[in-house]
Structure 1
Amino acid sequence: MTRQERTGWLFTAPVLAIIALVFVLPTALALALSVTDYSIYALADWSNLHFVGLGNFTGLLSTPLFWRALGNTLLFAALGVPMAIGTSLFVALLLNDATVRWKPLWRVLLFAPYVTSVVATAVVWRILFNQRFGLINRALAAVGIAPVDWLGDPHVSIPAILLFVTWKIFGYNMIVFTAALSAVPGELIEAARLDGAGRWGRFRHVTLPAIGPTLLLATVMSVAGFLQIFAEPYVMTLGGPAQSTTTVLYFMFDEGFKWWNLGQASAVAFVLFLMILAVTIAQTRIGRRHEWL
């Protein structure tokens, strides 16, 4: 090992040690728990701890609530990712227009929800969605539409939460897309315009390929985020009504900290990890196919 390499390892060693302490070690312990029946009884007496192998994982296959939570999570991701990405990209394109005034102010205002507390904003939106005195239903009543039980009706609870989540997170992707759009060569767009390409043609054939890597990154991050959604349904609906907003992470939380089935909860965590890993690999391959990587 050269002197330069030793110096590099010396400077990175503290960071690697912290990563090992707060990530690698807990992950290894969680994996060990996932193959046991660790529960509150084992916490009191280690003699109650037994090795069950893949029993926790196979047990999930016969748990109806897990499948319900998995379906809800996939629905959140399938609906939420296009909403979040589409809204962020649309607003970024608007702010990229040279005729828009006060761009820094708009960016700050639109980015602000992302850095606010998710619990605090979820409580505010829960009040806005209130069927009796929420401002949203009051606005609907003003145009002659009957009040909607946004958080109490299983058919509209997921769209209501998705509306809040999109408002909460789209500012981050908007800033990322704004930076990507500013790096698109203006001469390419001007050349396409001179060749007769309309606004949609310039976006499809020039802008979109240029921001492809950024779009892939934002999509990967958004999918991972929506597959891990927890705080929003926990604060706004407690997984209801009728378990319509119970997600995989919410199910894991209940198993681990409500029923103290920590072995089962650890198994759920690794199932979720494998889901996110599989989706990320698939998205990466699609990006390579389109030469975005």
Structure 2
Amino acid sequence: MTVATSVRSLESKDRGSAPRLPRSPRGGRLAKRQQRPGMWFALPAAALLALFFAYPLAVSLLQSFFSTSGGETTFVGLKQYARLFEDPLVGQSLINAGLILVVQVPLMIGLAVGLAYLLNQAWLRFKGGFRLMTFLPAITTLVAYAVVFRVMLATDGGAINQLLGIFGVAPVDWLNNEWWARVALIGAITWRWTGYNMVIILAGLQSIPGELYEAARIDGAGRWQTFWHIVVPQLRPVLIFTIVTSTIGALQLFDENFVLTGGGPNNATLTPVLYLYKVGFQQFDSGYASAIAWMLVALTAIISLIQFRLMREKA
């Protein structure tokens, strides 16, 4: 037994044998009195949270068990949820969201890590300007940039097709072809959110102690070995955060495909949230829309939990 172990065992014995002093009732009442002002300050925020978050959640969950037809609302139990498995558009929207999740999220996170690693190098000049240029898309409004992309991707006269025409490439029907519509949507989302994730990853890079780089250099590690064995393990918490938030964003995608393609062509860019919007606000089927929303909540929670578990196991 080492000295440190024996000292810890003696300390634990001393703590275990020490008598516990009874807690003063006056002290307990005093602590409660001291907490009251904080509770009063927190009450407005709690009321707003209950009014604008908890209450809508409860109402939407309740609506998912009812169906409205001919002005009459009837209790249908789990029929709205059973309807999800029979609706082909639900499956199509989930496939589209899965495609974006599998292709766009790794592409975006990879670009963000590469840009952050580049901007963290000591030899790079004008870092502030490059960071601003990279992060600038993240502060533009979603609808505004989607409209700009819609104009740029127009088949006739769009800036992208004009640029391709300089190199002798025929115009591409970006927004009316199923394949190219998906490519355009993934490209727009990647342009918008890469800088946002890059800033978060860059903050993680700058928190890595310089002694680790120095130790790796002394051991003869190259750039790739340093990146893989030093940078990536130290960035794992940041990567977990960016991957999970990007996954949630991919599953909740609405603005970009609503403005760019409206979910078309032929439902190629239809996502669960866009389908929820069409069911709830165009077909006025609030019960089924609520069921779609809670399906999406459950799916997001399951995927996020799986990602957390996988990343922790690798850690």
Partner Cα distance (1:68, 1:179) in 2 = 38
Secondary structure of the 1:264 match is: helix
Q: Give the match for residue 68 of structure 2.
A: 38
Q: 2:284 aligns with which of 260, 263, 267?
A: 260
Q: Does the alignment pair 1:19 with 2:49?
A: yes
The 2-side partners of 1:10 and 1:205 are apart by 49
Pairs within 5 Å for 1:213-224: 213-224=237-248
* 1:82-118 deviation line (CA, Å, top 9, x unaligned): 1211111111111001111111122122111111111
Match of 2:301 in 1: 277
Q: TM-score, normalised by structure 2?
A: 0.87
Aligned equivalents of 2:33, 2:112: Cα separation in 1: 47
Q: 2:235 is matched with which residue? A: 211
Residue type at the aligned position of 1:163: G
Q: Which residue of 1 aligns with 2:82?
A: 58
Q: Which residue of 2 aligns with 1:248?
A: 272
Relative distance call for 1:5 and 1:287 in structure 2 (3 A) is farther
1:242 to partner: Cα distance: 0.8
| Partner residue, 1:187 | 211
Deviation of the 1:187 alpha carbon: 1.6
Match of 1:133 among 157, 167, 171: 157
Query: Of residues 89, 99, 105 in structure 2, which corresponds to 1:81?
Result: 105
Match of 2:175 in 1: 151
Percent identical residues? 39
Report the secondary structure of 1:156's partner residue.
Answer: helix
Corresponding position: 1:172 with 2:196: yes
Q: Distance in 2 between matches of 1:14 and 1:288?
A: 37
Q: 2: distance between equivalents of 1:3 and 1:215?
A: 43
Q: Which runs of 4+ in 1 moved over 6 A?
A: none
- Tell me by how many angstroms 1:128 deviates: 1.1
Shift of 1:211: 1.1
Name the aligned partner's letter for residue 35 of structure 2: E
Which stretch of structure 1 is more off in the superposition, 208-217 or 126-135?
A: 126-135
In the alignment, what sits opposite 2:36?
6
Read off the aligned partner of 1:8 and give its amino acid letter: G
- Deviation at residue 71 of structure 1 after TM alignment: 0.7
Q: Separation in 2 of the partners of 1:10 and 1:215?
A: 38
Written as runs of structure 1 = structure 2, the 5 A alignment for 1:99-138 is: 99-138=123-162
**1:286 maps to what in 2?**
310
**Aligned residue for 1:232?**
256
Counterpart CA distance in 2 for 1:252 and 1:34 is: 12
Change (3 A) 1:280 1:4: farther
CA drift of 1:6 comes to: 3.1
TM-score using structure 1 length: 0.94
Letter in 2 for 1:195: D
Please report how far the alpha carbon of residue 127 of structure 1 lies from its aligned counterpart in structure 2 after TM superposition: 1.2
Alignment partner, residue 10 of structure 2: none
Task: Output one character per residue of 1:268-289: Cα deviation in whole Å (capped at 9) or x when no partner.
Answer: 0000000100011111212332
| Letter matched to residue 69 of structure 1 | S
Aligned residue pairs total 285
Give 5+ residue unaligned stretches, structure 1: 43-47
